[in-house]
Amino acid sequence: MSKITFLGAGSTVFAKNVLGDCMLTPALQGFELALFDIDPVRLKDSENILSNLKKTTGSTCVIRSYTDRKEALRGATYVVNAIQVGGYDPCTITDFEIPKKYGLRQTIADTVGIGGIFRNLRTIPVMLDFAADVREVCPDAWFLNYTNPMAVLTNVMNVYGGVRTVGLCHSVQACIPELFKSLGLEQEGVKAKIAGINHMAWLLEVSKDGVDLYPEIKKRAAAKQQEKHHDMVRFEMMLKFGYYITESSEHNAEYHPYFIKRAYPELIERFNIPLDEYPRRCVSQIARWETMREELLGNQDLRHERSNEYASYIFEAIETNQPFAIGGNVMNTGLITNLPKEACVEVPCLVNRNGVTPTFVGDLPPQCAALNRTNINTQLLTIEAAITGKKEHIYHAAMLDPHTSAELSMDDIVSLCDDLIAAHGTWLPAYV
């Protein structure tokens, strides 16, 4: 029996979407859907909800929960990863509250920045444990990583984990629909090319019937900037640097040194930047979950429509050899020629029986590549810290981060990192 293993299956709604999609995919019927999570209550919830869904979909997939990770992985054809190490309490709180004492404010803190660095440092050891299990019990599996920080974790799994890994993010799929809806443009028939790094990939080309749509997009964006809206940072970046970015404004506000600045507090209001956005979302989701849990668990008539998540389409393309195109995070094997070869990049990929095959992009516009490199610097130094165990590379990663370095002195950055290391305690390995 072929097998799809879901690590972090306690992410119940996401597991329902991804594995519900699999239940509705003809080529995946008869697969075992193996669930693993370290939280037994959430694991059981997911098993029960997916069992209800199996009945209503008429799927022949077999649902099994595991408390032994290696057994969950044994013989897997595909692995889906959706873990969060440390959760909201204590680790997300730590990532936000300690930097605030230094005057360093964040919005999401899950990619780069001081929050992204420490999320990586506590997640990389767990991912490498996963990799060791995969190499032992399912070495031919494709590993689909949905966990942030996407670029670093996907990089680590490929380079140091020895596991065939592709990172998947919603931002590429959402880019054109969100932009065109915001500007009142019709997206049917639009052709687009997107490439860069995760959360900072660029809409390089956008056209319809051979006509370049960027002049109209920029004209409408400039007009919209005269009023408050939710995407002011990305529009500003596009108007200044020439290209639209895939990930949201709340994310991109903290990827650059231009927007969250103590010396210019008026920028927060001007660009409508939601400081502390991720903790607010966490509190809201936690409060909502109990109500949602009862609704899902008690619904014997639970239904599901196939979503636009890439996972089931990737599995289907590999199983049937029917090609499917995705935006995937992969190692830069000469794909983007003016970004470092050590980087993980986000590029168009073709999926078929051969697996996930990335496509050549060439040079990005020089200003786009330069902005990408500012984030890649921090990503690569974070990996260096995790792999070598040397604390100095944590400092280097933070000192090279665009937002952190724009706000704090080097001495304060070192002190902040030391405070975060101490506060994380056993959530981090020892650093020398």
Token pair in block for residue 290: 């109990």
What is the distance between the alpha carbons of residues 257 and 135, in angstroms, rounded to a whole number?
Answer: 40
CA-to-CA distance for 379 and 343, rounded, in angstroms?
8
- Count other Cβ atoms within 10 Å, centred on residue 283: 12
How far apart are the C-alpha atoms of 350 and 48, rounded to whole Å?
Answer: 35
Q: Which candidate in 170, 199, 251, 424 is catalytic?
A: 170
* Positive or negative torsion for Cα 322, 36, 7, 75: negative
396 a catalytic residue: no
CA of 97: how far to CAs of 102, 218, 257, 416, in Å? 9, 37, 20, 11
Cis amide prior to 90 (ω within 30 degrees): yes
Question: How many other CB atoms are found less than 10 A from the CB of residue 292?
Answer: 12
By DSSP bridging, strand 165-167 and strand 142-145 are parallel
* Catalytic site positions: 170
